[in-house]
A = this chain, B = another copy of it.
Amino acid sequence: MDKPVILTGDRTTGPLHIGHYAGSLANRLRCQQTHEQFLLLADTQALTDNAHDPGKVRRNVIEVALDYLAVGIDPAQSTICLQSHLPALAELSMLYLNFVTVARLERNPTIKDEIRARGFGRDIPAGFLCYPAAQAADITAFKATVVPVGEDQAPLIEQTNEIVRRINATAGCPVLPEAQAVIPAAGRLPGIDGKAKMSKSGGNAIALSASADQIRSAVRAMFTDSDHLRIEDPGRVEGNVVFAYLDAFDPDPDGLAELKAHYRRGGLGDGTIKARLEEILQALLAPIRARRAELATDPGFVVEVIRQGTARARERTEATRQEVVAALGLFRL
């Protein structure tokens, strides 16, 4: 039990795509033996900006769990658990809201950006403004010290640690550990259209469950270098989506370096690099798709995985909650 604890997870707003694979799932597979890993199916957090469509949030609980299992997350090694079924998380969230000011939440750069991106304006749901406190509850309830996040999410871990320090100061003892944000070296995969963010809703993603045809069409439609009109012309690698994906998925770095040099010199057509990428993606996704299809025929098994993981997580998070309550000297019946 000396392994460091990782908390990570996904909002249940849609099936996962290859951006999730490159950005986090591959890393989770690597950490399964070296870390104690909790994967949160974040349905409660998904509601902070989807309260109008709870059906979407419900349906995607199973979809995301299927994606986890399909890529090779092993429920005997990693705990897959459902956020809404861990009452200690809500209880700690409500407690932590007393240890952070409204002004501090409003200054959070991640929240500011996301409020802008979602066009909330003045009509921010209170739950959305408060979600950094809820995220602090998630992280600390598992006593996670390692939290893999995108670059833009790092301020949320700072916010968590501020709350941790306040709780510990009020308690007069270090009841909660601080967490460290781990930002993947790879960076974020762009959408197939070249937009900065690949997203389920943006129609510019390749789902983990994509069919062979869907993969082929997506790669064909992929943005490359709009100035690279003739094969013999020099081409640009930077900002070229095909190369961004090859950087993420090509298992042969030397071959890729040669390919880039050739493309830059001229004489290498988009069709050739796309063919290479398609081959790699087809090889990566075929077994995932097959395993996902097989698992989807047995939803009872998937539910049972979530149930068992959630039971394990409930014990862990409730134990932490009780420690915090005791350390703060609150009333216990």
Contact = CB atoms under 8 A, between A and B. Distances in A.
A128 B98 contact: yes
A328 interface: yes
Contacts of A99: 51, 125
Nearest to A41: B331
Given A329-B58, A330-B84, A331-B58, A122 B97 contact: no
Given A170-B52, A307-B333, A97 B130 contact: yes
A55 B329 contact: yes
A87 B91 contact: yes
Contacts of A58: 329-331
Contacts of A105: 126
Contacts of A310: 333
B331 A84 contact: yes
A330 B43 contact: yes
A333 B88 CA distance: 17
A269 to B, nearest CB: 48
Contacts of A47: 95, 98, 330
A178 B300 CA distance: 38
A160 interface: no
A218 to B, nearest CB: 30
A54 interface: yes
Contacts of A130: 97, 126, 130
Contact of A333 (B91, B126, B306): B306
A153 B95 CA distance: 23
Contact of A98 (B51, B82, B122): B51
Contacts of A306: 333
Contact of A54 (B44, B303, B330): B330
A333 B95 contact: no
A134 interface: yes
Nearest to A62: B331
A146 interface: no
A280 interface: no
A123 interface: yes
22 contacts: A43-B331, A44-B95, A47-B95, A48-B98, A58-B330, A84-B325, A87-B91, A90-B93, A94-B127, A94-B134, A97-B126, A97-B127, A98-B125, A101-B124, A102-B124, A102-B126, A102-B129, A103-B122, A103-B124, A126-B129, A303-B333, A307-B333
